[in-house]
Amino acid sequence: MRDPDGLLARAGVRGDPDVDQHFLIDDRVLDRLPGYASEVDADLEDVLEVGAGTGALTDRLCRTADHVTAIERDPDLVSFLRREFDEEIDAGRLEVLEGDALELDLPAFTACVSNLPYGVSSGIAFRLFPEKRPLVLMFQREFAERMVAEPDTPEYGRLSVSTQHYADPEIVETVPKEAFSPPPAVESAVVRARPRDPEYTVSDEAFFLRFVKALFTQRRKTLRNAVRNTGHISGLEDPEAVVEAADEELMSRRAGTLAPAEFAALCELAMERGEPG
């Protein structure tokens, strides 16, 4: 295995918190990450890594996957990766792509294992979820706890509903600040997300996610008032018609108490009665 500190030294870089650059250097954590995918029988034929950095995780993935595609946006690090891993690249086991994972056309992949840049972790995660592939991703701990939160808990919100719409997420490990160079300001957590179809049906996924977002902007208000007040976000032309058609007991609840399936049912009613634009 390549030593993370040795990779940093050969690359001649130091992490920069100002640009959200924290390199994972704990060998034990790095060694465990590919295994979290293997434990759920994820297909490791073509693994995607977002934010390869100096290649500490890339090295581990190349030893367990048939093929790895590593995305890195820093041109200097891309050049380093192509030098450091020239044998793996020549053997056809690794491809290094330069670019922003929020903008690149994502390559086909069977699983994704990544230490995501925290500043863009949400955007990248929600590019990955619709691909319906097993994911093992590092996030800030607070963000991860919101992803897996249950209804009627303080952490439960739009992120919880949106994540659980696509997958069964679980926190498999919390990671201390000292596992990174330089240490970030907060603890981290590894989330494993297993794709699944939801237990409910929504006829317009984009509207469903927008509707959930709208209602959580007024999470302290009853759903009755939240629906009425957020038509400009959800796109409902006639929110009052939705309130009138919905169950009165439901409308007296707050967004944070609804399970994803309940949001879906209300969303379908909103589409039917509220004339979304």
Instruction: Give the whole-angstrom CA distance, residue 134 versus residue 112.
Output: 7
22 assigned binding-site residue:
yes
100 assigned binding-site residue:
yes
Helices (H) and strands (E) in the chain, counts: 14, 9
> For the purposes of burial, counting CB atoms within 10 Å of the CB of 32, is it exposed (0-12), middle (13-18) or buried (19 or more)?
middle
For the chain, the C-alpha Rg in angstroms (whole number) is 21
Residue at token pair 């309130």: 243
165 assigned binding-site residue:
no
18 assigned binding-site residue:
no
72 assigned binding-site residue:
yes
232 assigned binding-site residue:
no
Instruction: Give the whole-angstrom CA distance, residue 124 versus residue 143.
Output: 13
**Do the beta carbons of residue 202 and residue 270 sit within 8 Å?**
no
Instruction: Give the whole-angstrom CA distance, residue 148 versus residue 127.
Output: 18
Q: Which residues are annotated as a binding site?
A: 22, 24, 51, 72, 100, 115
Residues belonging to the binding site for S-adenosyl-L-methionine are 22, 24, 51, 72, 100, 115
